[in-house]
Amino acid sequence: MSGEPAALGAADGVRDMDRIDIKSLTLEELTGQVKAMGLPAYRAGQIYQWLHEKQAASFGEMSNLPLPLRTQLGGQYELAALKQADVRISAIDGTRKYLFALSDGNVIESVLMRYHYGNSVCISSQVGCRMGCRFCASTLDGLERNLRPSEMLDQIYRIGQDTGERVSHVVVMGSGEPLDNYDNLLRFIRILSGEKGLCVGQRNITVSTCGLVPQMLRLAEERLQITLALSLHAASDETRRRLMPVANRYPLREVLDACKVYFEKTGRRMTFEYSLVRGVNDSPDEAQALARLLKDQHGHVNLIPVNPIQERDYVQSGREAVEAFKNHLEKNGINVTIRREMGRDIQGACGQLRRSYIREKEDKDD
């Protein structure tokens, strides 16, 4: 039980100042750490089980470890544990929106949605976001910092514990651009879907991106079975640039080529998200152009009536326009679903609850 934890790479997701973030380590890495401490390898399995299956919030809870080891672990490692700052429960559909406080005082939000196929948790991947999409509340204050793998995992663990129900599906569609936090995202997926831990199957994990082409291509090579969702939102570069600054960096042609590569390498069909904004991207012409653009892609379109945010004057497309858009795509052989709005009464859209919390806090401090 002596010696320092084995040196780990400088991955910013694992080291917090001088203590290693133990919940961000894979089982192999934890085994390496445990061996370097002169302990038998089975201790790694026990610790990992406490962290990822029993989801202990402190080393003190790890009752099958000798007390001196618990103390030693507490001195050498950081154990990230989110604090529930708020929860709002939708009276309409039981959706639960959580606000969690991180150890540095930042707050993030996560959502639990109940579907017929199981419980799905939508997690944040960053505090804030730097992508600047015009209709999105998460990006209004820019990027604060990346979330560590442990902080992504703990959103799911805390929600599972709060409800006492199994989380079967995870979507990385909360605040932040997951592919802008690539290494931590990958580590998160590997731990979440690994054989010990929560064991959420990769096919039940969806990662949504605004279209960072180099990272999409890199992801295609990772041999994962996750679903990749692309936030498309327009069928022309001109309209896309109006809504999403990232479109200035990567034209549609390149983004869609990357989607094809993703399908070819992984066999996983894409999801194309399309938020309908009245008068901006919801015309029949736009639907026609979208059908043309996607005709040789493998995947389906998920239409989302834009969720208006206070800071912008975008307006949701009307029910009829949404239906017409859908019909137009279907007539052209494209698979389409309309996203059921969940938690409308509890500020369900990305970043809204966090912003209202920060605003209230600022008002109080003034």
Give the residues lining the site for ligand SAH (CB under 6 A): 131, 133, 135-136, 173, 177, 208-210, 231, 273, 275, 304, 306-307, 309, 349-350
In degrees to the nearest 10, what's the CA dihedral of 160, 161, 164, 169? 0
- What CA–CA distance (Å, rounded) separates 301 from 233? 10
Nearer to ligand SAH, 111 or 159 (CB): 111
Nearer to ligand SAH, 86 or 341 (CB): 341
Nearer to ligand SAH, 226 or 306 (CB): 306
Strands 299-305 and 270-276, bridge-based pairing: parallel
In the block, residue with structure tokens 């369900």: 348
> Of how many residues is the chain composed?
366
341 is catalytic: no
CB of 127 vs ligand SAH, minimal distance in Å: 13
Residues 6+ apart with CB under 8 A from 11: 183, 184, 187
Token couple for 202: 């990769």
- What CA–CA distance (Å, rounded) separates 351 from 356? 9
DSSP string, 169-213: EEEE-SSS-GGGGHHHHHHHHHHHHSSSSS---GGGEEEEES--H
Say which of 29, 78, 109, 273 is annotated catalytic: 109
109 is catalytic: yes
Nearer to ligand SAH, 133 or 252 (CB): 133
The C-alpha angle 354, 360, 363, rounded to 5 degrees, equals 140
CB of 130 vs ligand SAH, minimal distance in Å: 10
CB of 320 vs ligand SAH, minimal distance in Å: 18
Say which of 122, 129, 259, 350 is annotated catalytic: 350
CB of 265 vs ligand SAH, minimal distance in Å: 20
Catalytic positions are: 109, 350
